[in-house]
Homo-oligomer: A and B are copies of this chain.
Amino acid sequence: MNKDMQQYLDKAEVLIEALPYIQRFNRKIIVVKYGGSAMVDEELKARVIQDVTLLKLVGFKPIIVHGGGKEISRWVGKVDMKPEFKNGLRVTDEATMELAEMVLGKVNKSLVQLVESLGVRAIGISGKDGRLLSVKKKYANGEDIGFVGDVTNVNADILYDLLEKDFLPIICPVGLDDDNNTYNINADDAACAIAKAMKAEKLAFLTDIEGVYKDPQDSSTLISELTVSEAHKLVGDGYIGGGMLPKINNCIEAIESGVSRVHILDGRIPHCLLLEIFTNKGIGTAILNDSERRYYDGE
């Protein structure tokens, strides 16, 4: 057999290796929190969209929840806004919220456009559409920081209906409170709330870190698998801090509400989603039920 043919056969083998994964996640809901570098770098962006589109095509039900942080900052500068502060905390006033919604909307449609360009049916909505995300005002240390909200309800029927009609939903984290005011929602929180409401099979966070470390100073202490109990202990013992703390708490909450697995992935690695799902290459940190560990080992 010549070398050329061998290459093709190798390709065929890769596809065949994907078989058991395609089967395991058939018709399963996978919520992807999309943010960080993977959203800024055009190359990485294209990879993420390819990954999610492939997941859809082979029979999974992916849902994207995206943020838009850096692009919002860029526009705040562009329109020359004066940020408001209260006790040292930045406040999302009405004007900022208006601009943030515009920017998130733009980002949202640009993702729709990328998925559609690969020939897959996408729909971009915010938490306002079908009142998907109801919120109440979030207080930071008791401080009113404006239109920042905590999710109080996810209208999961909206997503079930869109999935049934074969759409790939792409969601920007904006919601309404009981008085119909517009609120910004932390994208991690929104993704977590949606994954919980839909009892997703997987919730994957695309981040700018390699995963969870036992000792953040020492990259060799990366944890590839973490049960909920272990996570609780790490938090209790004070190992987890900074921006990672709310993320880990989200993960714990998600697992405890019925999500099967949560992944903190390194979005800077191209195709990290595919690698996590279709290969035995451990990417980042997986959080799972105490009882799940053995099960996966035996597979």
Q: Measuring CB to CB, which residues of chain A are less than 8 angstroms from any residue of chain B? A: 4-5, 8-9, 11-20, 22-23, 26, 47, 50-51, 53-54, 57-59, 78-79, 98, 101-103, 105-106, 108-109, 112-113, 116-126, 128-131, 158, 161-162, 164-165, 167, 174, 176, 180, 182, 269-271, 274-275, 278-279, 281
Copies of this protein in the assembly total: 6
Across the interface, A130 reaches (CB within 8 A) one of B121, B161, B271, namely B121
Residue of B nearest to A281 (CB): B8
Across the interface, A23 reaches (CB within 8 A) one of B57, B59, B106, namely B57
* A19: min CB distance to chain B, Å: 6
Contact B16 A14 (CB under 8 A): no
Contact A15 B12 (CB under 8 A): no
Cα A23 to Cα B11 with chains together (Å): 18
Residue of B nearest to A167 (CB): B130
Contact B116 A106 (CB under 8 A): no
Across the interface, A15 reaches (CB within 8 A) one of B15, B126, B270, namely B15
* A159: min CB distance to chain B, Å: 11
* A73: min CB distance to chain B, Å: 15
* A22: min CB distance to chain B, Å: 5
